[in-house]
C-alpha cells in the first residue's frame, strides 16, 4: 500500500517549474513514480489580504437598509441563522468596516500520532489554518441580535439588539486551527 502524500501536486509542479526556468531549447520529460517519490517539498498557501465590508452602506436600499449617513437605517451586511428548527434567529447585523492580515496559511497536514494517542486512531489528513500574526481592524462594527424572522422586510419582523461591537487597532493571533473531516475516509 502506498503512503498518502497531500503534497503530490507540488511534487509535480516543482520539476515543471524547474524545467521552465531552463533555456527555451530544453525539453520537458515525464517523471515516473520512482523519480517522483524522491522529490520532496512543502505544500500550502500563504495569504495576505485587505477586506472591506460595506464601509459606506450595502447595495440594498429599502425601508430597513440604506446608506450609512441615513438616520434610522441600517447600513451593512446581515447574517441570520437559526439555532433550532422551531426557534428564533441569531443575527449579526450592520456588519461593516475593514480588516487586513498577512500570513494566513492553509495546508493539509496528516495526523497519525499525538492528541493523547487519539491521532493514531484517526490517521487521516486535516486542513490546517495557520493564523496570521497580526490582524488590523479599521472601523469594524456589528451588532449581535435576536430576531423572530430572518429578513427585516418580512411582515411582523421584530429584532432585539443585544450588544454592539466596535473594533479598531491590531489583534495578535497565534497558533493553528485544525479542521477535521467527518464521515468515512
Question: Could you read off the pLDDT tens digit of each residue along the chain, which spans 185 residues?
Answer: 444 555 554 555 556 555 555 444 557 778 788 887 777 666 778 888 898 887 766 677 777 777 777 787 777 788 899 878 888 899 998 888 898 988 889 988 888 887 777 778 888 888 999 988 889 999 998 999 999 988 888 888 899 999 999 999 999 888 888 888 876 65
Q: What is the pLDDT of residue 94?
A: 84
Q: What is the pLDDT of residue 36?
A: 74
Q: What is the pLDDT of residue 77?
A: 81
Which residues does 150 contact at the CB level (< 8 Å), separation at least 6? Answer: 80, 82, 89
pTM of the model: 0.55
Q: What is the pLDDT of residue 133?
A: 84
Q: What is the pLDDT of residue 22?
A: 47
Q: What is the pLDDT of residue 118?
A: 77
For the chain, the three-class secondary structure string (H helix, E strand, C coil) is CCCCCCCHHHHHHHHHHHHHHCCCCCCCCCCCHHHHHCCCCCCCEEEEEEEEECCCECCCCCCCECECCCCCCECCEEEEEECCCCCCEEEEEEEEEEEEEEEEEEEEEEECCCHHHHHHHHCEEEEEEECCCEEEEEEEEEEEEEECCCCCCCCCCCEEEEEEEEEEEEEECCCEEEECCCCCC
Q: What is the pLDDT of residue 170?
A: 93
Q: What is the pLDDT of residue 74?
A: 76
Q: What is the pLDDT of residue 70?
A: 79
Q: What is the pLDDT of residue 183?
A: 67
The structural domains of the chain, with segments of one domain joined by +, span 1-43, 44-179
Which residues does 36 contact at the CB level (< 8 Å), separation at least 6? Answer: 8, 11, 12
Q: Which three cell numbers stand for residue 125?
A: 489528513
Amino acid at each position: 500500500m502506498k503512503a498518502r502524500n497531500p503534497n503530490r501536486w507540488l511534487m509535480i509542479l516543482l520539476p515543471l517549474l524547474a524545467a521552465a526556468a531552463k533555456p527555451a531549447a530544453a525539453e520537458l520529460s515525464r517523471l515516473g513514480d520512482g523519480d517522483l517519490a524522491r522529490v520532496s517539498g512543502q505544500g500550502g498557501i500563504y495569504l495576505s489580504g485587505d477586506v472591506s465590508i460595506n464601509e459606506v452602506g450595502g447595495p440594498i436600499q429599502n425601508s430597513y437598509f440604506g446608506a450609512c449617513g441615513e438616520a434610522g437605517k441600517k447600513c451593512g451586511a446581515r447574517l441570520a441563522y437559526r439555532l433550532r428548527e422551531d426557534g428564533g434567529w441569531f443575527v449579526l447585523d450592520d456588519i461593516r468596516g475593514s480588516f487586513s492580515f498577512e500570513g494566513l496559511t492553509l495546508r493539509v497536514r496528516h495526523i497519525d500520532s499525538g492528541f493523547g494517542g487519539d491521532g493514531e486512531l484517526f490517521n487521516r489528513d486535516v486542513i490546517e489554518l495557520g493564523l496570521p500574526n497580526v490582524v488590523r481592524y479599521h472601523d469594524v462594527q456589528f451588532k449581535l441580535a435576536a430576531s423572530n424572522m430572518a429578513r427585516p422586510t418580512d411582515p411582523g419582523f421584530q429584532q432585539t439588539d443585544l450588544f454592539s461591537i466596535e473594533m479598531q487597532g491590531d489583534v495578535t493571533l497565534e497558533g493553528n486551527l485544525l479542521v477535521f473531516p467527518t464521515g468515512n475516509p
